[in-house]
Chains A and B, each alone.
Chain A
């Protein structure tokens, strides 16, 4: 609790005790007014003060002002205990709101406590502590046990275990060795690490994530916008009805003014839409917070709302459902040695960072001599054309071979890279990719969560894609697609489905599909920056099983939001009607205002604790 809140609490307690004591006294007339005005002023002075300031600024429908009118009105008609109680309860609610909101805000920002304060840079054998902003690419950073990894980098010395919980929600530590890339925001647990900086601070994972979370408030859900709009009309409408209620019925029927004014004052007490205005954004905020605790970053509550209404999930295959860590399973050279085939292919693929190229380079085992390779042309969806040692080399899939009229055997197993030099066929390499451990679980959970259609869109060959779809239980497969065909196919799927369509991918070639889908999800660990940029939701640990979890969090948050809206509106309108009929008193009205807010806030905070 802050100082301001403690002061408020003290005032509430003092005035509450006074009010209870006064209930046992029997003052009358002016004396009664004087004894009740003391607790009223103790607890209500800040409200009166704000009301005066705000009204001088022309804020007629300010909640403080309306609360003052209501309580002063009650004092005028002699309902002293009511006036004090309403003010007291109003302040209790206000205090509770600030504490609850502050608490959930903290629990979310705590999760985001991944920002590095400094970085140890080693230069000429000396270590100096500098601001992460000042570190440059290729600087050598030293990370001691217990410290955060300040910038993205590659380990050049030492090995250790990293705690990635803040980024991925994963509790098992990650073992890292020389040559592994490390992500900023992880915590080094036991070993001393030296790493080369690969990204400047502004491009590092930590600042990307922080930016993403900070900006998530800019993308508001429809419901949130609706509530803001509703609030704009609700207060004036209730206030005008109150004025009408105070004067019209007694003038028409000649009834008692005091009675009708009391009814009108009740209206003013329930005129604040606070329960809705606070609890709806708070629910979404808590939902997003709960998701980020699980390594799911959502860029705005509108996406949380959109994924809750999804009925189709479309996957890219490589790197999304499969590990994307290919390894060579077969080598079939044609007239040359196995090593020669690998060497030529590796050289041609030298500049590509496609997972397939990486696996071939890994099998080659030696650094690529770039001076031997010129005129590289990357043909997306086909392969690579390059000049290696003066020969024109084609390395890629069957389509590439067909395109250049090179005779080749037809191979149907796995991913195949054919290589040809100067029109002569050199042979092929078979590469296999492993399915991620949790892919099957992810698909079955999606289905049990009401996803009607699961689809694979792959640039890979049909037998490979079919095989994986059968293993995982995916409904539809479209293979051998070029990136632009992927988008076309996705458009078709979007047109034919009733609910929202989710696309999950990781590569640069998926970025157009990710931005086209109703909800685009990117794999944040393996994923390219373009995919992460285009995505609405980023999975930090690349696990497809996080998708059903995201869906669950979104749906639950949506339910909580609806509960709050219906509950708050139902109670408020009930009290309005009862007040108009003279069947409700100010005690009930203040419950409809503050009590409902408190209940709605507690309900909203449940979104923070959604579990698998």
Chain B
């Protein structure tokens, strides 16, 4: 399953790159991209683990840049 989310207050390009690396290391993630330009997060991950992965992703993002929030519709 591939989903994308808007990121709010993603202020630093290096952080975006760090987030991307960290999210890609989460178990079950096939491919994740964090785009500083479009302020968007795209995750392609296993369906069964998706909710878990999303939770972990949000935590990872907070860890790299505390001000940045993932807008989950």
Contacts and interface: CB of A to CB of B under 8 A. Distances in A.
Are A and B part of the same complex? yes
Interface of A: 50, 53-54, 57-59, 63, 94, 97-98, 101, 105, 214-215, 217-218, 220, 228, 231-232, 272-274, 277-278, 281-282, 285
Given A277-B14, A277-B17, A217 B40 contact: yes
Nearest to B4: A214
B37 A285 contact: yes
Secondary structure type dominating chain B contacts: mixed
A271 to B, nearest CB: 11
14 contacts: A54-B66, A59-B63, A63-B12, A94-B11, A101-B36, A101-B37, A217-B35, A217-B40, A217-B42, A218-B33, A231-B17, A277-B14, A278-B36, A281-B37
Pick from B33, B37, B42 the residue with the most CB of A within 10 Å.
B37
Contacts of A220: 33
A57 B63 contact: yes
B2 to A, nearest CB: 9
A232 B40 CA distance: 21
Contact of A105 (B20, B37, B42): B37
B13 A281 contact: yes
Given A57-B63, A59-B64, A214 B40 contact: yes
Interface in B1-36: 4, 11-14, 17, 20-21, 31, 33, 35-36
Pick from B20, B38, B67 the residue with the most CB of A within 10 Å.
B38
Given A232-B21, A277-B17, 19 more contacts: A50-B67, A57-B64, A58-B63, A101-B13, A101-B36, A101-B37, A105-B37, A214-B4, A214-B38, A215-B42, A218-B31, A218-B33, A218-B35, A272-B14, A274-B13, A277-B14, A278-B14, A281-B35, A281-B37
Nearest to B63: A57
Pick from A59, A217, A231 the residue with the most CB of B within 10 Å.
A217
Contacts, number: 61
Interface in B30-65: 31, 33, 35-40, 42, 63-64
A283 to B, nearest CB: 11
A53 B37 contact: no
A278 B13 CA distance: 5
Nearest to A273: B14
Given A214-B4, A228-B17, A281 B64 contact: no
Nearest to B33: A218
The 9 A-B residue pairs whose C-beta atoms are closest, nearest first, are A217-B35, A278-B13, A285-B37, A277-B13, A57-B63, A277-B14, A228-B17, A218-B33, A53-B66
Interface of B: 4, 11-14, 17, 20-21, 31, 33, 35-40, 42, 63-64, 66-67
Contacts of B31: 218
A75 B4 CA distance: 45
A273 to B, nearest CB: 7
Contacts of B42: 215, 217-218
A109 to B, nearest CB: 8
B14 A231 contact: yes
B19 to A, nearest CB: 11
A218 B31 CA distance: 9
Contacts of B66: 50, 53-54, 57
Contacts of A273: 14
Pick from B20, B36, B40, B42 the residue with the most CB of A within 10 Å.
B36
A217 B37 contact: yes
A272 B31 CA distance: 26
A217 B38 contact: yes
Contacts of B64: 54, 57, 59
A433 B17 CA distance: 51
A275 to B, nearest CB: 10
B40 to A, nearest CB: 7
A98 B4 contact: no
A105 B17 CA distance: 18
Contact of A217 (B11, B17, B21, B33): B33
A246 B17 CA distance: 29
A281 B13 CA distance: 9
A53 B31 CA distance: 28
Nearest to B42: A218
A105 B37 CA distance: 6
Contacts of B39: 105
A63 B33 CA distance: 21
Nearest to A4: B9
A105 B40 CA distance: 12
Contacts of B63: 57-59
A98 B12 CA distance: 8
B25 to A, nearest CB: 13
Contacts of B36: 101, 278, 281
Contacts of A59: 63-64
B41 to A, nearest CB: 10
Contacts of A282: 37
Contacts of A97: 13
A99 B33 CA distance: 23
A228 B15 CA distance: 11
A274 B20 CA distance: 16
Nearest to B67: A50
A95 to B, nearest CB: 10
Contacts of A215: 42
Contacts of B37: 101, 105, 217, 281-282, 285
Contacts of B4: 214
Nearest to B35: A217
A604 to B, nearest CB: 11
A63 B13 contact: no
A275 B11 CA distance: 14
Contacts of B38: 105, 214, 217
Nearest to A108: B37
A231 B36 CA distance: 15
A551 B63 CA distance: 41
Given A54-B66, A232-B21, A274 B14 contact: yes
